[in-house]
Chain A
Amino acid sequence: MLVDYELIRRAREGDAAAFNQLVAAYRKRILGTIARTIGRPEDVEDVGQEVFLRLYYSLDQLRSAEVFEPWLYRLTANAAYDYLRKRRRRMESRMADLSEQQVLLADAVAGEKIDRDEGQKKRIREAVDALLDRVSEEDRVLLTLKEVEGLSLKELGEIYHVKENALKVRLFRARQRVLKAFTASRKQAPVGSLR
């Protein structure tokens, strides 16, 4: 926990200064998670504010201060999911296939064949973002929390309110779908040209 229970209790009772401290303690971590989940830096603050707005209006429903963190992550996962769903709706259809260059890059990343300077990092982000855009929003959020954020199954269980076994199944299926999308893209692009 980044804050003590007393601060959470005070924020829950409507203390604005305590709420400010709470946001200040968690915003960097939450914004980082959102950035890696939605893959659009320009929208991260907007989604982050939505998370803390929901926090402000639902703090009184928090059962106990001990469950604050999983609960904040749940709000974050929900806000990211809502954003991704709206973004997909805004697009005319599902994300187009990965560009050939993105496929080649993802392939090279998987084979650890490239140096990662800033330009290359940006392209990696774009390639993985495009890859994750090819699976559902639920899969994307779940996989990011597990594989990128490194949350444990126990932590994910507390966030999603599901048992670990059920989570394992969901994660396995989500990984399969990403792999399928990746493999399909590789088949469409002439991968050999990079090697």
Chain B
Amino acid sequence: MDHQSYQAGSDDARLDTIFQAYRAACPDFEPSPEFMPHLWQRIEARQGMSMVFGRWARNVATAALALSMLLGLAVTITGSHGAQLPTESYVEVLAEEHNTANLDFEPVHLSAADPR
């Protein structure tokens, strides 16, 4: 066995001894009489939090459902009155409004005396 592997084996053995000594030095842990009551307090506290969050989530879901139903109703009513929804895109409307073919250009007269 060369020196390095002997050293590694020796270090490993030392580490094992340290862990064994640690295990022997740690006493068994005795839970206090308050362990179970505190555990149930924590369980109930989290249940309370989940209930509050659950109630809040249910309220939000109900409100969202009511709002979407209202919007659906509004769209239906508007549609039944024959309101025309635009069929053109925004770009098409802009192009229509700035149609250069409809613009009246006036002729520009330039003279030699004109400083421009």
Residues of A within 8 A of B (CB): 20, 23-24, 27-28, 31-32, 34-36, 41, 44-45, 48-49, 52-53, 56-57, 106, 109-112, 116, 120-122, 124-125, 128, 131, 143, 147-148, 150, 175, 178-179, 182-183
Contacts and interface: CB of A to CB of B under 8 A. Distances in A.
Given A36-B26, A125-B22, A148-B19, 15 more contacts: A32-B26, A35-B29, A36-B22, A41-B29, A44-B29, A45-B38, A52-B39, A53-B42, A106-B18, A111-B14, A122-B25, A143-B19, A148-B22, A175-B12, A178-B15
Contacts of A179: 11-12, 15
A24 B40 CA distance: 13
Nearest to B21: A109
B22 A45 contact: no
Interface string B51-71: 000000000000000000000
B35 A48 contact: yes
A133 to B, nearest CB: 13
A125 B22 CA distance: 6
Contacts of B94: none
B36 interface: yes
